[in-house]
Structure 1
Amino acid sequence: MSRAVRFDQYGDVDVLRIEDVQRPEPAADQVLVEVVAAGINPGEISIRSGLLHERWPATFPSGQGSDFAGRVVETGASVTEFAIGDEVLGWSDWRSSHADYVVVPAGHLVRKPLALDWIRAGGLFVAGVTAYASVRAVQPKEGETVVVSGAAGGVGALTVQLARNTGAHVIGIASDANASWLRSVGVTPVPYGDRLADRLRQAAPSGIDAFLDTYGNGYVDLAVDLGVDPARVNTIIDYAAAAKAGAKAEGSSTASDAEILGFVAGEVAWGRIVLPVAAVYPLDAVRDAYRELGDRHTRGKIVLSMTLPADAGRVS
């Protein structure tokens, strides 16, 4: 038996439970991984609460989780690229990574770089490939000005750095508490709130070339109002606003690729981008982890650790 997060109906964090389940078995083209760490993501809150039922309906009982990192414990008969004991990171398309064991196709895995710690590896997939897709969608060029909303969140923190690495001047919208961190990674901070448009115009007197929205809540409309070409506006969350404005809405589904994940993992492993970790929780504290994530004021990722004892509580 092994542990796994389950829920039987849409609702808030109280519908989540830890259940004993049979350890999964890999099919011929699959790999069984013992999970060491697994990230949590805002999209999982929306799925669990039913807000994305039309787009991604849940089938009950439902599991949770896409991100994970761990060790290979069994391989299917046709798998040749991985062996027992390999350290890997990857993703599940079946909402199943918040568990002691996860089984996925071999093509959903990459080897974990030695320089990449387990916690960041376990929380990398969704944020990493979403940030990559978002930056790719607007194609920043050296010398251009790019604005990123939610610039210190799990996706935003990687997005600002990938955009910066293109040679663009990046402006990050975040709270004042995150200003120092944004400056430390070469990003110009601008606080959100009243008169934001005026502050952005002041920070970008020659205009804004592209806008990357990782937060929602009206930022697509703001970008258009600031004169940004809708073809160079991308949101990972506000699909209705994107459709209305003619903006893009490219995210993880357009970049769920092992080669892209491997690239981002290498960038983090060797320090070319930094993945901040806001907190680590034991699997049994999954409700507390999602409560903190739901406040939407975290810097970087919140990650579940399968190796922490149940009574460990939050680790920062």
Structure 2
Amino acid sequence: MASNVTDKIKSLFGVAHGLGDIVRGSFMNTLDKTFQSSSSEAHGPHEDIIQKGVQEFRDGYNKLWGSRQEVEGPTEPSAQSARQTSSFPPAGWESQTRDGTGEGVQRRHSATSSHVPDSLFVNHTDDPIFFRSTPSTSILLLVCKRWLRVATPLLYEILIIRSKAQAQALSLTLPFNNSLGLYVKKLRIECGYVSFGQGTIELMPNVPHSYLSLAVWPEDNVSNVCASLASLSPTCVVLYECSEQDQMLDNDNTQLLCLTIQERVVAFWTNMKSFYFPYPYRNGFYQAIDPTNILGKR
């Protein structure tokens, strides 16, 4: 059944994309005819886009219609059955809330799409492992209100901040809905410290897994993040540093971040059971936070 739901979603996106191409092609043809007197021929220069959109719309609609009939079987072509056949989500979806149907399928599909394995979350290589050109998993929130409600906790469970824009968006979102921060279980900050608002991390009190990058540039102010680290009580802490010593950044921001983390690890993060920082060339910090010594005292 999960595959059927996935196929329906793909078909629905095909219908939407087809409509978008039709509107875009028609609009561009209208502009050409308005501003270019030579564009008077019947076949506009963007007619191919329109035809492609029509075909994509038909394919998506036929798949939705066909998959619906396969489930329900042949019926009399009454007006009522036609309306039920073309509806999405399927009739009875609201009442099917157990695992295997309805919300159970939504939850499993959303969890699969947004899942990040532990091996990737703690990955400390220099490769941009979370860079991708595929659509964001947040498109699941646009399917319908029920998908929005089911998928939101799963999408916020693991937050990976890779840019200033992402950090700023998070800082603007959490204060307007405090419950979102309660869903966060893993927080990975690769950059964008300067865009974190004051108190943003404090709105995420249940974060047992934290990943912090020490590769901070001089203009990337870390004061807001450092002030908020006191609100965390992680069980697993992973710190990232440049793999080559000659590439290591050393400035006021890195020093403040190191001192704050050092203070939290040594004296306050008593629930910490796992600590990873294999960079001995940051001498003072590595000696102050000896993973073996710190964990041995827990």
Query: Which protein is richer in helix relative to its size?
Result: 2
Larger Rg: 2
Q: Same fold (TM over 0.5)?
A: no
Greater RCO (CA < 8 Å, at least 6 residues apart): 1
TM class by shorter chain equals under 0.3
